[in-house]
Amino acid sequence: MICNKHVPAIFASPIGELEIAGCDKGMHYIKRVDKTVAVVPDLNTKFKLIESKTENLPKSVQECIEWFSEYFAGEGADPDKHSVTLSKTPAFCPGIGITEFFWKVYTTLASEVKFGSQCSYSQLAELVKNPNASRAVGAAMKNNPFLIVVPCHRVIKKSGGIGEYSGGGPKLKEWLLKYESRS
């Protein structure tokens, strides 16, 4: 059963407009409003609400706003101190239909591959205790409903190439990796 009680809201961000949706049980998704727009990130753009059908956003969305505000705060920011932790309730709504394997990949990635770090698809498969599941890990990354919070942009090819990024293309992925490597 898929939860249909989510409240979407649109936010301005340095990487373009993001739609964040959640309900009282947790987050439903985070996505770019228009993935076809070429992104030239602008850190002068503050993360802020643009549009919402309600003034009272669910707690899960409010936590996500706090996390993104810290993420895009610039040098010295530590989004991990405001982490939208996948294992806590109500971080993500259980009614959004994520498979058990994908969920394990997302929680492992978010907890093990921190800000400024990267891993390969095969390394992530090993972290989830399924070393032969590199392609399944790739499928999880392609279908990640939680843009940036579940940091699929940190998963790169074994060869060191950055690979694709369904959240906005390889140029955005490259920018996110460079942004996170600053210290």
Distance CA 113, CA 122 (A): 13
Residue 85 has pLDDT above 60, yes or no: no
pLDDT of residue 88: 47
Residue 158 lies in a domain: yes
Q: Domain range holding 14?
A: 7-181
Number of domains in the chain: 1
Residue 2 lies in a domain: no
Instruction: Say which of 23, 93, 119, 152 is annotated catalytic.
Output: 152
140 vs 81, residue with greater confidence: 140
Amino acid identity of residue 163, one-letter, is G
Each residue's pLDDT tens digit, 25-41:
888 899 999 776 667 78
pLDDT of residue 63: 84
Each residue's pLDDT tens digit, 110-163:
889 988 899 999 999 999 999 999 999 999 999 999 999 899 999 999 999 998
Catalytic annotation on 64? no
Please list the residues that pair with 49 across neighbouring strands: 11
Average pLDDT score over the chain: 84
Buried b (16+ CB within 10 A) or exposed e, 2-19: ebeebbbbebbbbbbbbb
pLDDT of residue 7: 81
pLDDT of residue 53: 81
* CATH code at position 62: 1.10.10.10
50 vs 96, residue with greater confidence: 50
pLDDT of residue 90: 42
Buried b (16+ CB within 10 A) or exposed e, 74-88: eeebebeebbbbbee
pLDDT of residue 89: 40
Residue 142 lies in a domain: yes
Cite the beta strand spans of 33-176 per DSSP E: 48-52, 119-120, 155-156
